[in-house]
Amino acid sequence: MMPRKTAFDMFEATRRIPYQKIILSSFSDFQNAKKAMRYGVYNFLEKPLDKEELRDCLWQICLDLKMEAASLASEEGLSKQFPTIDLPVIDGNYLSAQVISYLHHHYNQTLSTERIAHHFGYSESYLYKKVKEELGITIKDYLNRYRMRRAIKLILEEPHLLVYQVSEAVGYSDYNYFGKVFRRYTGLTFTEFKENFTH
């Protein structure tokens, strides 16, 4: 017989998965409510269950998720939801501004620091060092972040697209590698993201 687990045990085990949590309990004490808030519980419903109250709660969750998906499509929404794909401010750095403009126009192609350096007439080591000094992150990291932002917007706009289609659209010829990069930057697999943000 498997050991019984509480709702809080489940919340702890699924901490990395974003979802709306509702607790149904016969206990409404302050300590449980306080603990529930720590796990981001959406609502705390008491037994016996009031069906009207549950329906209202689920309806509000649906509305909130739709608003969240709409917000996520904006630049500010992306950075707030996934700070790991936030893009640094250029702040008057001429060389970095040129490189970033190039990345934004060619992100859906196969790119390397060597190719970018050749395009601008610099050595690979010089360009790598200069951009990292100015932006605080490497060219590859910036490109990955930008591609992830484009991928997320594409998934939200066209949720029927398969992983290989999104992968190719943002410059990854290997969709398995794209999946690894996507998870590293968002904390979610491609499938988990679609399940959480496109339904």
d(CA 150, CA 133): 25
Residues 36 and 100 in one domain: no
pLDDT for residue 92: 66
pLDDT for residue 143: 97
Is the pLDDT assigned to residue 37 strictly greater than 70? no
Which residue in this structure is represented by tokens 């790598």? 128
| Contact between 187 and 12 (Cβ < 8 Å) | no
Range of 179's domain?
Answer: 80-197
Residues whose CB falls within 8 Å of the CB of residue 7, separated by 6 or more in sequence, listed in order:
21, 23, 25
pLDDT for residue 38: 65
Count of domains observed in the chain: 2
On average, the pLDDT of the chain sits at 83
Q: What is the pLDDT of residues 45-68, one digit of tens each?
A: 777 878 888 888 888 777 766 666
d(CA 90, CA 19): 34
Q: What is the pLDDT of residues 127-169, one digit of tens each?
A: 999 999 999 999 999 999 999 999 998 998 889 999 999 999 9
| Contact between 151 and 89 (Cβ < 8 Å) | no
pLDDT for residue 65: 67
Residues 84 and 126 in one domain: yes
Hey, which residues does 197 pair with through a beta bridge?
none
Residues 29 and 113 in one domain: no
d(CA 58, CA 42): 10
CA atoms within 13 A on the CB side of 37: 7
46's enclosing H/E stretch is strand 41-46
* Mean pLDDT, residues 5-29 taken together: 73
Closest to 138 (Cα-Cα) out of 166, 117, 169, 164: 117
pLDDT for residue 130: 93
Q: What is the CATH number of the domain that holds 158?
A: 1.10.10.60
